[in-house]
Amino acid sequence: MTTTQAPTLRGAGYLIYGAVCYAIFLATFLYAIGFVGNLWHAFGWSGTPFRSMDIGGPAASTAEALSIDALLLALFAVQHSGMARSGFKRWWTRLIPAPIERSTYVLAASACLLLLFWQWRPLGTTVLWDLSRRPAGTLLVGLSLAGWLVVLLSTFMIDHFDLFGLRQVWCAFRGAHYPAHEFATPGFYRAVRHPIYAGFLTAFWATPVMTLGHLLFAGATTGYVLLAIQLEERDLVRHYGDAYRQYRFRVRMLLPLPKRQRALEAHRQGADHRA
């Protein structure tokens, strides 16, 4: 039976902090959809508050834009992967209370993205493809929005409120023990190991108009995703052991395709040999 204590002022502070961090994340996530898809312009919204990847933003030469945009992407990558590592968390929770560690991570990631939206420099008018006036363009917009939907649904399939820090601060507010999750593969996770990343990549690449700036963004984020997965899976293997190793051999990383039978057989033979 789970025991709880009466809420304290500190617990209430954690809960308010977590709720604010979550609200900032939610606004950032919704803004990202308009930013990446250049949707603000399609809605007739313009000006500084409604910048998009290829429309608006400070003017800059191609060299300056490339340098600034690359730095913005690198800043997000370092924050997003660095703060997620178990070693950093052990050090970080010596400085901040453990119940707000995840909320602080979410806030830092949102801040890096908001900085990127604010300071992103469009890379001129170079266009690699433009399908905006063809049926394929509409299809690509729909595919991109489907990618964003996959991202959101995937978070709920594991534990949306844990992923964004609300479960932790709620437990602290109630004075309840924060239970760890058991390893599970619900919904999309039966088809691919990283549906959140798969959804993001779909959203980033499925565009009716591919500019040089969009290519930089999509290419850099793809490279980051492939690196981040290696770091995340190393931590997951360390935490869940053979359960995750077996999952990794059964299910592909990003593409919902069946594993090659030969690879599965080799894994089974290796497991039998180790036994």
Sketch the domain layout of the chain as residue ranges: 9-274
Residue with tokens 């993001």: 200
For the chain, 275 residues long, the average pLDDT of each consecutive 10-residue run is: 66 94 97 92 77 84 92 95 91 93 96 95 86 91 96 95 94 86 90 96 95 94 95 92 91 85 55 48
Region of residue 230 (phi > 0: left; psi between -120 and 50: alpha; otherwise: beta): alpha
Amino acid residing at 33: I
pLDDT of residue 261: 57
Encoded tokens for 74:
């690198």
pLDDT of residue 49: 83
93: three-class secondary structure by DSSP: coil
C-beta separation of 201 from 220 below 8 A: no
pLDDT of residue 125: 73
Distance CA 13, CA 7 (A): 10
